[in-house]
Amino acid sequence: MSKISLSGKVIAITGGGRGIGLAIAESLMAQGAKVSIGDIDVALAQQEAKRIGAYAAHLDVRDRSSFAEFVAETEAALGPLYGLINNAGIMPMGYFLDEAPALADAQIDINFRGVIHGMQVALPGLLQRSSGHIVNIASLAGRFALPGSAIYCGTKFAVVGMTEAVAGEYRDSGVEFSCIMPSKVLTELTAGTEEAANIIPSVTPAQVANAVVAALQKPRLMVAVPDYLQAAHSAYTLIPAWLQQRGRRLIGDDRILSKLDRVAHAGYENRINQLAVKTKSL
Protein backbone atom coordinates (compact mmCIF):
# COMPACT_ATOMS: atom_id res chain seq x y z
CA MET A 1 0.00 0.00 0.00
CA SER A 2 1.41 3.39 -0.96
CA LYS A 3 1.80 6.16 1.59
CA ILE A 4 -1.10 8.59 2.06
CA SER A 5 0.07 12.13 1.39
CA LEU A 6 -0.68 14.59 4.19
CA SER A 7 -0.04 17.60 2.00
CA GLY A 8 -2.96 20.06 2.17
CA LYS A 9 -4.90 17.88 4.64
CA VAL A 10 -6.56 19.68 7.56
CA ILE A 11 -5.50 18.12 10.85
CA ALA A 12 -6.48 19.35 14.32
CA ILE A 13 -4.49 18.60 17.47
CA THR A 14 -5.76 18.94 21.02
CA GLY A 15 -3.30 20.12 23.66
CA GLY A 16 -0.91 21.19 20.91
CA GLY A 17 0.49 24.25 22.69
CA ARG A 18 3.45 22.37 24.12
CA GLY A 19 5.05 18.96 24.57
CA ILE A 20 4.02 16.03 22.38
CA GLY A 21 1.13 17.90 20.72
CA LEU A 22 3.41 20.72 19.60
CA ALA A 23 5.96 18.24 18.22
CA ILE A 24 3.15 16.54 16.26
CA ALA A 25 2.04 19.94 14.93
CA GLU A 26 5.58 20.70 13.74
CA SER A 27 5.97 17.30 12.05
CA LEU A 28 2.63 17.65 10.29
CA MET A 29 3.53 21.16 9.09
CA ALA A 30 6.72 19.65 7.63
CA GLN A 31 4.50 17.20 5.68
CA GLY A 32 2.54 20.12 4.20
CA ALA A 33 -0.60 19.57 6.31
CA LYS A 34 -2.83 22.48 7.39
CA VAL A 35 -2.61 22.27 11.15
CA SER A 36 -4.98 23.60 13.81
CA ILE A 37 -3.90 23.62 17.45
CA GLY A 38 -6.51 23.63 20.20
CA ASP A 39 -5.38 24.20 23.76
CA ILE A 40 -6.79 25.44 27.03
CA ASP A 41 -3.69 27.64 27.23
CA VAL A 42 -4.75 29.62 24.16
CA ALA A 43 -2.08 32.34 24.53
CA LEU A 44 0.68 29.73 24.36
CA ALA A 45 -1.05 27.88 21.51
CA GLN A 46 -1.35 31.09 19.49
CA GLN A 47 2.27 32.03 20.13
CA GLU A 48 3.53 28.59 19.01
CA ALA A 49 1.11 28.44 16.07
CA LYS A 50 2.41 31.78 14.84
CA ARG A 51 5.99 30.51 15.11
CA ILE A 52 5.32 27.37 13.02
CA GLY A 53 2.66 28.78 10.68
CA ALA A 54 -0.31 26.85 12.09
CA TYR A 55 -3.79 28.00 13.15
CA ALA A 56 -4.74 28.05 16.86
CA ALA A 57 -7.92 28.44 18.87
CA HIS A 58 -9.15 27.98 22.40
CA LEU A 59 -10.29 24.49 23.34
CA ASP A 60 -11.31 22.85 26.58
CA VAL A 61 -11.72 19.17 25.70
CA ARG A 62 -13.84 18.62 28.85
CA ASP A 63 -16.61 20.69 27.29
CA ARG A 64 -18.37 19.16 24.26
CA SER A 65 -19.59 22.55 22.99
CA SER A 66 -16.05 23.97 23.22
CA PHE A 67 -14.90 21.02 21.07
CA ALA A 68 -17.67 21.59 18.52
CA GLU A 69 -16.74 25.29 18.36
CA PHE A 70 -13.05 24.45 17.91
CA VAL A 71 -13.77 22.09 15.00
CA ALA A 72 -16.15 24.63 13.41
CA GLU A 73 -13.53 27.39 13.74
CA THR A 74 -10.84 25.11 12.30
CA GLU A 75 -13.02 24.19 9.31
CA ALA A 76 -13.97 27.83 8.68
CA ALA A 77 -10.27 28.81 8.69
CA LEU A 78 -8.67 25.82 6.94
CA GLY A 79 -11.36 23.68 5.26
CA PRO A 80 -13.00 20.28 6.01
CA LEU A 81 -11.26 18.26 8.69
CA TYR A 82 -9.26 15.19 7.62
CA GLY A 83 -7.57 14.28 10.88
CA LEU A 84 -8.05 14.74 14.59
CA ILE A 85 -5.25 14.01 17.06
CA ASN A 86 -6.72 13.64 20.56
CA ASN A 87 -3.59 14.44 22.54
CA ALA A 88 -4.56 16.67 25.50
CA GLY A 89 -4.02 14.86 28.76
CA ILE A 90 -2.72 15.18 32.31
CA MET A 91 -0.81 12.75 34.52
CA PRO A 92 -0.86 13.39 38.24
CA MET A 93 1.28 11.10 40.36
CA GLY A 94 -0.01 9.91 43.70
CA TYR A 95 -1.24 6.81 45.47
CA PHE A 96 -4.87 5.98 44.78
CA LEU A 97 -6.28 6.90 48.20
CA ASP A 98 -4.25 10.14 48.33
CA GLU A 99 -5.52 11.51 45.01
CA ALA A 100 -7.86 14.47 45.49
CA PRO A 101 -11.34 13.79 44.05
CA ALA A 102 -11.11 16.92 41.86
CA LEU A 103 -7.86 15.67 40.33
CA ALA A 104 -9.41 12.25 39.68
CA ASP A 105 -12.33 13.97 37.94
CA ALA A 106 -9.96 16.15 35.90
CA GLN A 107 -8.15 13.06 34.58
CA ILE A 108 -11.39 11.33 33.65
CA ASP A 109 -12.74 14.52 32.05
CA ILE A 110 -9.60 15.42 30.08
CA ASN A 111 -7.98 12.05 29.31
CA PHE A 112 -11.12 10.03 28.60
CA ARG A 113 -14.24 12.18 28.28
CA GLY A 114 -12.24 14.65 26.16
CA VAL A 115 -11.43 11.87 23.67
CA ILE A 116 -15.09 10.81 23.55
CA HIS A 117 -16.05 14.44 22.83
CA GLY A 118 -13.44 14.73 20.09
CA MET A 119 -14.45 11.50 18.38
CA GLN A 120 -18.17 12.22 18.59
CA VAL A 121 -17.74 15.76 17.26
CA ALA A 122 -15.32 14.96 14.41
CA LEU A 123 -16.42 11.51 13.26
CA PRO A 124 -19.77 12.36 11.58
CA GLY A 125 -18.04 14.73 9.12
CA LEU A 126 -15.29 12.20 8.33
CA LEU A 127 -17.86 9.43 7.82
CA GLN A 128 -19.89 11.65 5.51
CA ARG A 129 -16.76 12.20 3.39
CA SER A 130 -15.70 8.50 3.75
CA SER A 131 -12.21 9.73 4.48
CA GLY A 132 -10.16 10.79 7.46
CA HIS A 133 -8.22 9.55 10.45
CA ILE A 134 -8.65 9.79 14.21
CA VAL A 135 -5.49 9.37 16.26
CA ASN A 136 -5.79 8.98 20.02
CA ILE A 137 -2.69 9.52 22.11
CA ALA A 138 -3.03 6.96 24.90
CA SER A 139 0.07 5.66 26.69
CA LEU A 140 1.91 2.45 27.49
CA ALA A 141 0.24 3.05 30.87
CA GLY A 142 -2.87 1.95 28.94
CA ARG A 143 -1.21 -1.47 28.49
CA PHE A 144 1.01 -1.87 31.56
CA ALA A 145 -0.65 -0.78 34.83
CA LEU A 146 1.53 1.66 36.75
CA PRO A 147 1.22 1.75 40.57
CA GLY A 148 1.46 5.41 41.61
CA SER A 149 -0.76 6.59 38.73
CA ALA A 150 -3.77 4.28 39.00
CA ILE A 151 -6.48 6.68 37.83
CA TYR A 152 -4.30 7.90 34.95
CA CYS A 153 -3.79 4.24 33.93
CA GLY A 154 -7.54 3.68 34.10
CA THR A 155 -8.17 6.57 31.72
CA LYS A 156 -5.51 5.34 29.28
CA PHE A 157 -6.75 1.70 29.36
CA ALA A 158 -10.16 3.20 28.57
CA VAL A 159 -8.82 5.12 25.56
CA VAL A 160 -7.07 2.00 24.20
CA GLY A 161 -10.24 -0.08 24.53
CA MET A 162 -12.55 2.58 23.15
CA THR A 163 -10.33 3.22 20.12
CA GLU A 164 -10.27 -0.48 19.23
CA ALA A 165 -14.04 -0.82 19.67
CA VAL A 166 -14.88 2.27 17.59
CA ALA A 167 -12.42 1.17 14.89
CA GLY A 168 -14.35 -2.11 14.75
CA GLU A 169 -17.67 -0.30 14.38
CA TYR A 170 -16.40 1.76 11.43
CA ARG A 171 -13.95 -0.68 9.87
CA ASP A 172 -15.42 -0.36 6.36
CA SER A 173 -16.17 3.35 6.46
CA GLY A 174 -13.01 4.75 4.86
CA VAL A 175 -12.11 6.40 8.18
CA GLU A 176 -8.96 5.14 9.92
CA PHE A 177 -8.23 4.95 13.65
CA SER A 178 -4.93 4.79 15.50
CA CYS A 179 -4.05 4.52 19.15
CA ILE A 180 -0.52 5.72 19.96
CA MET A 181 1.01 4.35 23.16
CA PRO A 182 4.23 6.15 24.05
CA SER A 183 6.55 5.07 26.83
CA LYS A 184 8.02 7.85 28.98
CA VAL A 185 8.32 11.02 26.88
CA LEU A 186 10.67 13.86 27.78
CA THR A 187 8.18 16.67 28.40
CA GLU A 188 7.35 18.74 31.49
CA LEU A 189 4.91 15.96 32.47
CA THR A 190 7.79 13.63 33.34
CA ALA A 191 10.12 16.23 34.93
CA GLY A 192 11.61 14.78 38.13
CA THR A 193 11.12 11.13 37.10
CA GLU A 194 14.72 10.63 35.91
CA GLU A 195 15.67 8.17 38.62
CA ALA A 196 12.13 7.04 39.18
CA ALA A 197 11.54 5.90 35.65
CA ASN A 198 14.89 4.42 34.73
CA ILE A 199 13.20 1.08 34.18
CA ILE A 200 11.04 2.64 31.46
CA PRO A 201 12.53 3.51 28.04
CA SER A 202 12.47 7.27 27.29
CA VAL A 203 11.60 8.79 23.93
CA THR A 204 11.50 12.37 22.67
CA PRO A 205 8.34 14.21 21.61
CA ALA A 206 9.77 14.18 18.06
CA GLN A 207 9.88 10.35 18.11
CA VAL A 208 6.20 10.24 19.09
CA ALA A 209 5.43 12.78 16.35
CA ASN A 210 7.24 10.60 13.79
CA ALA A 211 5.13 7.63 14.88
CA VAL A 212 1.95 9.69 14.46
CA VAL A 213 2.97 10.82 10.97
CA ALA A 214 3.83 7.22 10.01
CA ALA A 215 0.45 5.97 11.31
CA LEU A 216 -1.37 8.65 9.29
CA GLN A 217 0.59 7.79 6.15
CA LYS A 218 0.23 4.01 6.55
CA PRO A 219 -2.71 3.42 8.87
CA ARG A 220 -2.07 1.15 11.87
CA LEU A 221 -4.48 0.66 14.76
CA MET A 222 -2.07 0.06 17.67
CA VAL A 223 1.30 1.80 17.77
CA ALA A 224 3.74 1.65 20.69
CA VAL A 225 6.63 4.11 20.90
CA PRO A 226 9.26 2.71 20.86
CA ASP A 227 7.77 0.10 18.55
CA TYR A 228 9.31 -2.99 20.21
CA LEU A 229 7.22 -2.40 23.35
CA GLN A 230 4.15 -3.62 21.45
CA ALA A 231 5.80 -7.06 21.14
CA ALA A 232 7.01 -6.79 24.76
CA HIS A 233 3.41 -6.27 25.84
CA SER A 234 2.22 -9.28 23.85
CA ALA A 235 4.89 -11.41 25.52
CA TYR A 236 4.00 -9.99 28.97
CA THR A 237 0.37 -11.06 28.62
CA LEU A 238 1.53 -14.68 28.23
CA ILE A 239 3.17 -14.62 31.69
CA PRO A 240 0.91 -15.81 34.54
CA ALA A 241 -0.30 -12.99 36.80
CA TRP A 242 1.55 -14.26 39.91
CA LEU A 243 4.85 -14.21 38.01
CA GLN A 244 4.13 -10.75 36.59
CA GLN A 245 3.56 -9.54 40.17
CA ARG A 246 6.76 -11.15 41.42
CA GLY A 247 8.75 -9.44 38.65
CA ARG A 248 7.03 -6.11 39.32
CA ARG A 249 7.91 -6.31 43.03
CA LEU A 250 11.54 -7.11 42.16
CA ILE A 251 11.98 -4.09 39.88
CA GLY A 252 9.94 -1.78 42.11
CA ASP A 253 7.11 -0.94 39.74
CA ASP A 254 5.88 2.01 41.86
CA ARG A 255 9.16 3.87 41.66
CA ILE A 256 7.76 6.49 39.28
CA LEU A 257 6.15 7.82 42.46
CA SER A 258 8.30 6.49 45.31
CA LYS A 259 11.46 8.02 43.78
CA LEU A 260 9.90 11.13 42.25
CA ASP A 261 11.95 14.34 42.58
CA ARG A 262 9.10 16.49 43.85
CA VAL A 263 10.99 19.77 43.50
CA ALA A 264 11.71 19.15 39.80
CA HIS A 265 8.09 18.02 39.31
CA ALA A 266 6.49 20.97 41.14
CA GLY A 267 6.01 23.18 38.06
CA TYR A 268 3.99 20.52 36.25
CA GLU A 269 2.02 19.65 39.37
CA ASN A 270 1.02 23.29 39.91
CA ARG A 271 -0.13 23.59 36.30
CA ILE A 272 -2.39 20.54 36.41
CA ASN A 273 -3.73 21.37 39.87
CA GLN A 274 -5.14 24.57 38.36
CA LEU A 275 -7.04 22.42 35.83
CA ALA A 276 -8.48 20.37 38.69
CA VAL A 277 -9.85 23.54 40.28
CA LYS A 278 -11.55 24.44 37.00
CA THR A 279 -13.11 20.97 36.68
CA LYS A 280 -15.08 21.57 39.90
CA SER A 281 -16.85 24.55 38.41
CA LEU A 282 -17.65 23.06 34.98
Ligand X SMILES: NC(=O)c1ccc[n+]([C@@H]2O[C@H](COP(=O)([O-])OP(=O)(O)OC[C@H]3O[C@@H](n4cnc5c(N)ncnc54)[C@H](O)[C@@H]3O)[C@@H](O)[C@H]2O)c1
Which residues participate in catalysis according to the annotation? Answer: 152
User: What's phi and psi for 205, nearest 5 deg?
Assistant: -55, -35
Site for ligand X contains 48 (CB under 6 A): no
Exactly one of 25, 49, 59, 223 binds ligand X (CB under 6 A); that residue is 59
- Per CB under 6 A, the list member of 69, 188, 194, 254 interacting with ligand X is 188
Applying CB under 6 A, among 185, 212, 256, 276 the residue interacting with ligand X is 185
**Segment contacting ligand X (CB under 6 A): 48-56, 181-189, 236-244, 255-263?**
181-189
**E strand or H helix at 167:** helix 150-169
- Say how far apart CA 270 and CA 277 lie, in whole Å: 11
Closest CA to 106 of 98, 114, 96: 114
**If binding is defined by CB under 6 A, does position 110 make contact with ligand X?**
yes
Binding status of residue 40 toward ligand X by CB under 6 A: yes
Site size for ligand X (CB under 6 A): 30
- Using the rule CB under 6 A, is 255 a contact of ligand X? no
**How many CB atoms neighbour CB 197 within 10 A?**
18
Among 11, 123, 189, 215, interactor with ligand X by CB under 6 A = 189
15 binds ligand X (CB under 6 A): yes
Give the C-alpha distances (Å, rounded to integers) separating 121 from 1, 66, 118, 169, 249: 29, 10, 5, 16, 43
269 binds ligand X (CB under 6 A): no
Task: Determine contact, residues 114/14, Cβ cutoff 8 Å.
Answer: yes
For residue 185, the 8-state DSSP code is: E
d(CA 170, CA 173): 5
Residue 202 buriedness (CB in 10 A; 0-12 / 13-18 / 19+): middle
- Closer to ligand X by Cβ: residue 3 or 50: 50
Q: How far is the CB of 207 from ligand X (least distance, A)?
A: 11
Chain residues in the site for ligand X (CB under 6 A): 14-15, 17-21, 39-41, 59-62, 87-91, 110, 137, 139, 182, 184-185, 187-190, 275
